[in-house]
């Protein structure tokens, strides 16, 4: 049974396009991809460009998951600073991660270009403002690390005055500007990619949830309510919506699904526009409970962050935390009319890295992007296609070593509420 898309800004401004078909008979293919979001479709794109056969099964509609609901920011860095990563894993590993973060954004740009996807893709940069002095020192250490260890002087720190001029708010101490950051219309990107794949002969089948996966000789058989697919390999690209499909399948317990929520204001007046994010770049701040925002082409302010982290409730009250945070950032917008409110689930891992690996013989997965999946899922799609093709990959800390189940997973909702409160206090009072 299909579940409707949320009433998001992205849905309201979506390009028109044909509906996808349902799996209504038994099929066979070389690689079955379960999940029709960025990860699944990026894997299909890479397999298709390698001339390999694949088929995508999506439980609901294309872009129904986080891929059709997110902020649309392709951020060329991880949540953790490179300098901190270098301390933890050594400079060589940090350097490999840095290259992958850049490749991730480049791969999105390349997909938009080669598939001619109409998704308002803009690569003007991304800002990471620091919510306190410690966070600013971390960003400065990153710029220093990039210069000394990667000979890369593209990113730079903006001081408090320049940050105020760019953002129109005094809540940040400074900011990290990387001109390689990008933003896009995520729903149009996801649907455009799926239509492009269909045009290249990749079957994209929606309203076709895989309910079980079992072995039959040297093939896997995925059952849906109206048909089955036999495949040599399977890619699980179900991220925060992962449910066990195999016997002894613990993938869903290796991540914690957390809701991220977004509100949009009414279009701002020209006076409000001058005072609200005048630089018009996408912004993701350094808080543990992150705020992210941008000006939309309609002149509305989109503001995202924590609403109800469990994603269980769906009423305007859930979004009040977000409205308060918006008013703290832009006091002149306090009480402004909110036009759209929506939420989706991100998958959080214990080490804040996404992970890619093998669950069983010829069954691969990639998931756990937190709030960094727009670009990283595109990278993971490339790597998943390499794994399916029998190649070795070097994901470093993003591999499956030590990617085990989250302790006390059954109590995750209580744990998340406690952690969210704790992070909120640290974000507010740490200097
Ligand atoms: C509100 C919000 C804002 C965000 N903002 C940003 C941002 O600005 N920048 C950024 O980098 N990241 C952001 N993210 C994170 C990013 O959207 C995700 O990391 C990314 O979309 C994950 O893509 P995915 O394809 O792995 O998962 P999804 O897009 O969630 O797709 C998984 C799909 O699998 C399907 N599925 C599940 N089980 C089955 C089954 N058994 N059979 C068939 N299909 C199945 C689901 O229906 C779903 O459509 C945000 C997320 C949210 C929710």
Cα separation values, 276 from 170, 198, 227, Å: 11, 41, 52
Whichever domain contains 194, its CATH number is 3.50.50.60
Q: Strand (E) positions, 159-265?
A: 174-178, 182-183, 204-205, 212-216, 219-224, 227-236, 256-265
The lowest-confidence range among 20-29, 52-61, 138-147, 418-427 is: 418-427
Span from the CA of 171 to the centroid of ligand 1 (angstroms): 30
Is residue 110 situated within a structural domain? no
Q: Which range (81-85, 112-116, 166-170) has the least confidence?
A: 81-85
Q: What is the pLDDT of residues 260-300, one digit of tens each?
A: 999 999 999 999 999 999 999 999 999 978 999 999 999 99
Instruction: Count how many Cα atoms sit within 13 Å of the Cα of residue 121 in the half-sphere of its side chain.
Output: 23
- Asked if 417 and 329 sit in the same domain, the reply is yes
236-242 mean pLDDT: 97
284 within some domain: no
Look at residue 55 and give its three-state secondary structure.
strand
Q: What is the pLDDT of residues 148-194, one digit of tens each?
A: 999 999 999 999 999 999 999 999 999 999 999 999 999 999 999 99
Q: 144 with 206, same domain? A: no
**Is residue 92 domain-resident?**
no
Per-residue CA distances from 242 to 59, 238, 397 (Å) = 11, 5, 21
In a domain, 323, yes or no: yes
Cβ neighbours, 10 Å, residue 180: 20
> 40-64: per-residue pLDDT in tens?
999 999 999 999 999 999 999 999 9
Q: Tell me the pLDDT of the chain averaged across its residues.
A: 93
Query: Per the structure, how many domains does the chain have?
Result: 3
Domain identity same for 316 and 227: no
Query: Max Cα separation, the chain?
Result: 68
Residues 424 and 328 in one domain: yes
Pair (265, 331) in one structural domain: yes
Say if residue 245's pLDDT is above 50. Answer: yes
Q: Are residues 301 and 153 in the same domain?
A: no
Does residue 282 have its Cβ closer than 6 Å to ligand 1?
A: no
Residue 1 has pLDDT above 60, yes or no: no
Q: Using one digit for the tens of pLDDT, what is the confidence trace for 305-343?
A: 977 655 555 677 779 989 999 999 999 999 999 999 999
Pair (385, 303) in one structural domain: no
Residue 106 in any domain: the answer is no
pLDDT of 222 reads 98
Task: Tell me if 276 CB under 6 Å of ligand 1.
Answer: no
Work out which ligand 1 atom sits closest to the CA atom of 75: 11
241 lines ligand 1 (CB under 6 A): yes
Strands 219-224, 212-216: pairing is antiparallel
Q: What is the pLDDT of residue 62?
A: 97
DSSP string, 230-250: EEEEEEE--GGG----STT--
Same domain, 203 and 147: no
Q: Which of the two residues, 109 and 5, has the higher pLDDT score?
A: 109
Query: For ligand 1, is residue 306 a contact (CB within 6 Å)?
Result: no
Structural domain includes residue 75: no
Assign 422 a pLDDT band (cuts: 50, 70, 90). Answer: low
Q: Would residue 96 count as lying in a domain? A: no
* Dist CA 245 CA 185 (whole Å): 31
Please tell me whether residues 359 and 246 are part of one structural domain. Answer: yes
* Residues near 270 by beta carbon (within 8 Å), at least 6 away in sequence: none
Best residue for ligand 1 mutational test, from 238, 259, 309 (most atoms within 8 Å of Cβ)? 238
**Has residue 411 got a pLDDT over 90?**
no
Tell me, using a 6 A CB cutoff, whether residue 63 lines ligand 1: no
Q: Please give the share of the chain, as a percent, with pLDDT higher than 90.
A: 84
Q: Is the CB of 59 under 6 A from ligand 1?
A: yes
Residues 262, 216 share a domain: no
31 DSSP assignment:
E
Tell me phi and psi for residue 269, to 5 degrees: -75, 165
According to the model, what pLDDT value does residue 289 have? 82
Please name which of 304, 358, 310 lies closest in space to residue 329, comparing C-alpha atoms: 304
Which structural domain range is residue 340 located in?
257-279+290-348+413-431
CATH classification of the domain holding 262: 3.30.70
Q: Report the residue among 3, 38, 70 best suited for mutation to probe ligand 1: largest number of ligand atoms under 8 A from its CB.
A: 70
Same domain, 322 and 266: yes
pLDDT over 90 at 398, yes or no: yes
Mutual angle of helices 38-49 and 91-115, in 10-degree steps: 80
pLDDT the model gives residue 313: 56
Q: Write down the pLDDT at residue 279.
A: 97
**Residue 269 within a domain:** yes
Q: Helices (DSSP H) in 74-115: which residue ranges?
A: 82-89, 91-115
Judge if 39 and 139 occupy the same domain.
Answer: no
In DSSP notation, 366-386 reads: EE--TT-HHHHHHHHHHHHHH
Average pLDDT rounded to a whole number, residues 403-414: 74
């Amino acid at each position: 049974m299909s579940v409707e898309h949320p009433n998001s800004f992205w849905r309201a401004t979506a390009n028109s396009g044909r509906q996808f078909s349902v799996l209504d008979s038994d099929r066979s293919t070389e690689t079955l991809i379960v999940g029709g979001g960025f990860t699944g479709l990026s894997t299909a794109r890479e397999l298709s460009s390698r001339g390999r056969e694949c088929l995508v099964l999506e439980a609901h509609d294309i872009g129904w998951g986080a891929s059709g609901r997110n902020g649309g920011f392709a951020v060329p860095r991880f949540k953790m600073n490179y300098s901190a990563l270098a301390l933890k894993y050594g400079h060589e590993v940090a350097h490999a991660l840095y290259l992958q973060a850049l490749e991730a954004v480049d791969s999105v740009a390349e997909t938009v270009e080669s598939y001619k996807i109409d998704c308002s893709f803009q690569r003007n940069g991304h800002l990471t403002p620091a919510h306190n002095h410690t966070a600013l020192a971390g960003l400065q250490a990153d710029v220093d690390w990039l210069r000394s260890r990667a000979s890369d002087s593209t990113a730079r720190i903006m001081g408090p005055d320049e940050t105020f001029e760019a953002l129109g708010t005094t809540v940040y101490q400074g900011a990290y500007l990387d001109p390689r950051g990008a933003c896009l219309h995520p729903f149009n990107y996801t649907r455009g990619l799926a239509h492009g794949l269909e045009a290249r002969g990749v079957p994209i089948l929606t309203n076709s949830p895989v309910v079980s996966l079992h072995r039959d000789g040297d093939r896997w058989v995925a059952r849906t309510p109206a048909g089955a697919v036999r495949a040599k390999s399977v890619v699980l690209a179900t991220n925060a919506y992962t449910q066990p499909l195999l016997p002894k399948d613990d993938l869903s317990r290796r991540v914690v699904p957390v809701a991220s929520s977004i509100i949009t204001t009414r279009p701002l007046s020209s006076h409000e526009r001058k005072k609200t994010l005048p630089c018009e770049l996408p912004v993701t701040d350094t808080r543990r409970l992150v705020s992210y925002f941008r000006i939309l082409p309609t002149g509305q302010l989109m503001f995202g962050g924590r609403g109800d982290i469990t994603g269980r409730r769906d009423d305007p009250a859930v979004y009040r935390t977000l409205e308060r945070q918006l008013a703290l950032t832009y006091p002149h917008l306090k009480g402004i009319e909110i036009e759209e409110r929506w939420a989706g689930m991100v998958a959080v891992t214990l080490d804040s890295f996404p992970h890619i690996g093998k669950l069983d013989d010829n069954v691969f997965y990639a998931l756990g992007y937190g709030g960094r999946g727009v670009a990283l899922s595109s990278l993971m799609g490339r790597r998943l296609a390499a794994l399916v093709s029998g190649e070795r990959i070097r994901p470093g800390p993003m591999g499956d070593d030590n990617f085990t189940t989250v302790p006390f997973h059954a109590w995750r909702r209580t744990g998340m509420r406690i952690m969210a409160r704790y992070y909120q206090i640290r974000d507010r009072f740490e200097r």
